[in-house]
Structure 1
Amino acid sequence: MDSRPAIDRVLDESREGMRRTQVGELLALVDAGALVVDTRPVEQRERDGELPGALVVDRNVLEWRLDPTSPNRLDVADDPDRVVVVVCNEGYSSSLAAESLRRLGLRNATDLEGGFQAWLSVQPGSGTSRS
């Protein structure tokens, strides 16, 4: 029997079959038409900064705003084949969110491994950027 916390098991299950996006791939995906969705709460965005080019969608309404069949969807959420990269702070809740979007039919939904903090760590002036 798996003695890990249930959330750890659920997180692993949500990532099964999902190719998670690496920070170095993000720009190329955006250039190819991917939609990057930042689900971090306003407090984290104010503290750490914005993710350039990302659409901000509160986590509590994510499914309604991105479901192509929802009458409450955003205009950009009209293609179930579009790559959607969900970004949270560290890459945990985004995995759960991406799996939820996949269940709604967004078969190319994924998340950013390491989340915003991983992206921030490679930015110039962050103190930990890689060349």
Structure 2
Amino acid sequence: MPLKTTAAKMVSDARARIKEVETIDAIKMVDDPNVVIVDIRDIRERQRSGYIPGSVHAPRGMIEFWVDPDSPYYKDVFGQEDKTYLFHCASGWRSALTVATLQDMGFDAAHLREGFSTWGAQGGPVEQEDKT
């Protein structure tokens, strides 16, 4: 059965209505105490390729529940007022869909347009998980 829409079309539609942040601009946000960088990649991706220092790990499958104060899975990190939330995945597809969904819920956020894929190459700091 043919799909009614493709994943690529969904991402394109999401990107047309959300705020996208370029990697070089996001790098400048790393040390800003008013910015919460949220990594929605799978834990294995973080372990394999590292992560942005200070980023919050929030698995993609739990985001809607973690940001909803009425959910039993709510996380306080998402209830901070006057914070800028910047979500990222590996290439910007999952984070675009995530931010569009959160926007529909009334949660204000942006996403890293190219994801983590260009982060290190553009000079962004990367931490590796301690394997000891």
Secondary structure in 2 aligned to 1:86? strand
| Separation in 2, partners of 1:24, 1:69 | 36
- In the TM superposition, structure 1's runs of 4+ consecutive aligned residues that sit over 4 Å from their partners are none
Gaps of at least 5 residues in structure 1 are 127-131
TM normalised by structure 1 equals: 0.79
Secondary structure in 2 aligned to 1:120? coil
Gaps of at least 5 residues in structure 2 are 127-132
* Structure 1 match to 2:116: 116
Q: Give % identity.
A: 26
* Structure 2 match to 1:91: 92
CA contact 1:90–1:114 (8 Å) conserved in 2:
yes
* Structure 2 match to 1:78: 79
Q: Give how far 1:83 is off.
A: 2.2
Question: 1:120 and 1:24, CA in 2 relative to 1: closer, same or farther beyond 3 A?
Answer: same
| Separation in 2, partners of 1:95, 1:115 | 10
TM normalised by structure 2 equals: 0.78
Secondary structure in 2 aligned to 1:85? strand
AA in 1 matched with 2:101: S
| Separation in 2, partners of 1:98, 1:22 | 15
Q: Comparing 89-98 with 42-51, which one deviates more in the overlay?
A: 42-51
CA contact 2:67–2:78 (8 Å) conserved in 1:
yes
2:16 maps to 1:16: yes
* Structure 2 match to 1:50: 51
Question: 1:119 and 1:101, CA in 2 relative to 1: closer, same or farther beyond 3 A?
Answer: same
- Measured against aligned partners, the alpha-carbon deviations of 1:12-56 in whole angstroms (never above 9, x if no partner) come to 111123220111222444516121100111111111112111000
How many matched pairs?
121
